[in-house]
Structure 1
Amino acid sequence: MKKRIRNIHLIINPAAGKDESMLMIINASLKEAGIKWEASITHEAGDATRFAKSAVKGGIDALAVYGGDGTLTEAMSGLIGSEVPLIILPGGSANVMATELGIPTDLREACALVSQDPPQMKTVDVGQFDGRYFLVGMSFGFGAELVKGAARESKNKFGIFSYFLSAVSAFKKMRRATYHLNIDGRKHKVRGVTCIISNTGNLGFSRISYDKHIDVSDGFLDVVVVRKANFSLLKHMAITLLKGERPDNLRLVEHWQGKDITVSSRPAQTVQCDGEVLEKSAFHVTVIPGAITILVPKEKSKVIE
């Protein structure tokens, strides 16, 4: 997009995890930038997708979303096939995609990106399965139990730390399973405590990434299986990641890349995708390269380190 953004539709998740005068900040920022905007408020699952599709038909320069990764994924799903870019205004607890793209978690700073002239954009891959889409990724087992345990009430009270509290509970439930994988025609059978199909490498913190080579714009999804873990290994991995280093115990991690992925687990495990718990235990997942365009800081528009 070469022209300045002048007309925005904003989708707001009122249950997002941050306590701030959100509307006052957004209104002041966009008014100062001379941007016309209207807003829709989500009340139930599917609202963000419907609002996005309707806004695209009505004619907008960009779609902005205030909420977490789940709301972002819903809204993004309504943009697939259009040329309307996405603006992320982080309002959730983890904000994984915003962190991946270097988008400020401070709402005023995120709003300020809209006034860039010309706006800086980055094309991002999207995963899909069963007619649904995802931006961040899906996980089986321990990783899914961790997300499932960070319930809305806990996230409202503890924010990002709710995931650490959930990890304690998830660790108690951790059991190994056998993952049957078919990645671009190559079959793998591996035992592990969690399997992750990811579009991003970070864990919602600017310095914490389980693999800094995972790229949201490389046309691939990354499949990661943690083969085994105990409390001391997880503690060591967490501390090392917090230091911005690569843990030596990642030798316990299998990592592949692919565009067409089939995965199932035996026994069946809890599965989540972009924060939503799913009922199935077997999935066929593919990637849509460059499916969506997202507003980013200037230094992130071409290459993400």
Structure 2
Amino acid sequence: MSRSACLIFNPVAGQGNPDQDLAKILAILEPEIDLDIRKTTEDVDADQLAAEAVERGAEMIIASGGDGTLSAAAAALVGTKIPFGVISRGTANAFATALDIPNTIEAACQTILGGFTRTVDAAYCNGKPMVLLVGIGFEAEAVERANREAKNRFGMLAYVLAGLQQLRDLSKFDAEIETEDKVIRVSAASVTVANAAPPTSILAQGPAGLIVDDGLLDLTVVAPQNVAGAIAASYHLLQSALNEHPAERPDIGYLRARKIKITTDPPQKVVLDGELVGSTPVEVECIPAGLTILVPETAVEVPVEHLDGLPDVEVIPKKGEVEEKG
């Protein structure tokens, strides 16, 4: 047995039987990998266990749980170059889907055993490590509605139901978005900055087919005029994601940048990798090749920017260029 790894296991993730899940993982991995098994508790989260494993000099770290567990463990590995294996057992499994990792235990374990090592981008949001995305406005409100009780009862449908409920309270806010070369002022219902995102994270799908190793963040602004427009925009974004074609609606804008700062009036709730973390303002910076992960190969090219159609958008180029209004 030539390989060793720390296995971080969340026993309360998902809706399956944790004892059976762990036994299945061990049956597949232990013949080839010497596993140091650490379980999360109410007091000890995956990020602490992963950080401790890094300090012990772990050769590889494997995490098994929901998106919160996987993102927390990955966050501790940013910049370490320690290979990260993913076994999803959560409600949404957004982390695995975004990185094209199989979301069944058997296939995920085989990816760890036989997959190759790939470096993908990570990011920091207000100093906190970020693997997937930060959502401002509508998405954060919907995530807050989809509590643990709802997820245990309805599974993935809990997010859909929360989104439908949030549509009844749809509201817009003024946002100022600053990148390296411009400042954008716009009224929006949702602003999302993604490092990686699955197709089901529709509010991040302005450019569609997000690239996880390009050294850039993908920003999507959704600015519907009413509830009907929000529904139409959401459906369009879902189609954009599934077809990998960028959004083409006047109330959807997107761009790519390495650093993005967002302020809002009034302040808006913020969700980071599926967890509520406070409110705006936020500053997000991409960390190119910040995470080493075991994942099947994939690469998709997407357009860089589309902002012209957003209603009442004001784009102010930096470096003294002429102001534009769309």
TM bucket by the smaller chain?
Answer: 0.7 to 0.9
Q: Deviations over 1:37-64 (max 9, x none)?
A: 0221112476212211211222322111
Q: Which residue of 2 aligns with 1:94?
A: 92
Q: Which residue of 1 aligns with 2:13?
A: 16
Q: Deviations over 1:281-303 (max 9, x none)?
A: 10121111010011012x43xx3
Of 215, 232, 242, which residue of structure 2 is paired with 1:219?
A: 215
Residue type of the partner of 1:177? F
Q: Which residue of 1 aligns with 2:82?
A: 84
User: How do 1:223-242 residues align onto structure 2 when only pairs under 5 Å count?
Assistant: 223-228=219-224, 230-237=226-233, 239=235, 241=238
Residue type of the partner of 1:16? A
Report the CA distance between 1:5 and its aligned residue.
Answer: 7.2
| Cα distance in 2 between the residues matched to 1:115 and 1:201 | 24
Residue 173 of structure 1 aligns to a residue whose secondary structure is coil
Report the CA distance between 1:181 and its aligned residue.
Answer: 0.9
User: How do 1:156-171 residues align onto structure 2 when only pairs under 5 Å count?
Assistant: 156-171=152-167
Of 72, 87, 90, which residue of structure 2 is paired with 1:74?
A: 72
Q: Which TM-score applies when normalising by structure 1?
A: 0.88
**Counterparts in 2 of 1:210 and 1:225: CA distance versus 1, 3 Å:** closer
| Cα distance in 1 between the residues matched to 2:72 and 2:2 | 22
Q: Which residue of 2 aligns with 1:189?
A: 185
User: How do 1:11-90 residues align onto structure 2 when only pairs under 5 Å count?
Assistant: 11-20=8-17, 21-32=20-31, 34-44=32-42, 47-90=45-88
| Cα distance in 1 between the residues matched to 2:197 and 2:229 | 20
Report the CA distance between 1:251 and its aligned residue.
Answer: 3.0
User: Contact 1:201 / 1:211 at 8 angstroms: preserved in 2?
Assistant: no
Residue type of the partner of 1:114? I
Of 157, 169, 173, which residue of structure 2 is paired with 1:177?
A: 173
User: Contact 1:5 / 1:61 at 8 angstroms: preserved in 2?
Assistant: no
Report the CA distance between 1:192 and its aligned residue.
Answer: 0.7
Report the CA distance between 1:239 and its aligned residue.
Answer: 4.8
Residue 279 of structure 1 aligns to a residue whose secondary structure is strand
User: Contact 2:7 / 2:35 at 8 angstroms: preserved in 1?
Assistant: yes
| Cα distance in 2 between the residues matched to 1:268 and 1:205 | 22
Q: Which residue of 2 aligns with 1:104?
A: 102
Report the CA distance between 1:184 and its aligned residue.
Answer: 1.0
User: Contact 2:206 / 2:247 at 8 angstroms: preserved in 1?
Assistant: no
Q: Which residue of 1 aligns with 2:3?
A: 6
**Counterparts in 2 of 1:242 and 1:248: CA distance versus 1, 3 Å:** closer
| Cα distance in 1 between the residues matched to 2:40 and 2:225 | 39
| Cα distance in 1 between the residues matched to 2:44 and 2:275 | 12
| Cα distance in 2 between the residues matched to 1:77 and 1:5 | 26
Of 137, 146, 151, which residue of structure 1 is paired with 2:147?
A: 151
| Cα distance in 2 between the residues matched to 1:196 and 1:115 | 34
Residue 257 of structure 1 aligns to a residue whose secondary structure is strand
Q: Which has the larger radius of gyration?
A: 2
Q: What percent identity do the matched residue pairs reach?
A: 29
Residue type of the partner of 1:124? V
Q: Which TM-score applies when normalising by structure 2?
A: 0.83
| Cα distance in 1 between the residues matched to 2:46 and 2:53 | 10
- Name the Cα RMSD after superposition: 2.5
Structure 1 unaligned spans of 5+: none
Q: Deviations over 1:255-282 (max 9, x none)?
A: 1111111101111122111111122310
Residue 202 of structure 1 aligns to a residue whose secondary structure is coil
1:258 correspondence with 2:257: yes
**Counterparts in 2 of 1:291 and 1:45: CA distance versus 1, 3 Å:** farther
The number of residue pairs the alignment matches comes to 295
Residue 250 of structure 1 aligns to a residue whose secondary structure is coil
Residue type of the partner of 1:142? F
| Cα distance in 1 between the residues matched to 2:192 and 2:156 | 20
Structure 2 unaligned spans of 5+: 302-326
Report the CA distance between 1:234 and its aligned residue.
Answer: 4.3
1:278 correspondence with 2:277: yes
User: Contact 1:197 / 1:221 at 8 angstroms: preserved in 2?
Assistant: yes
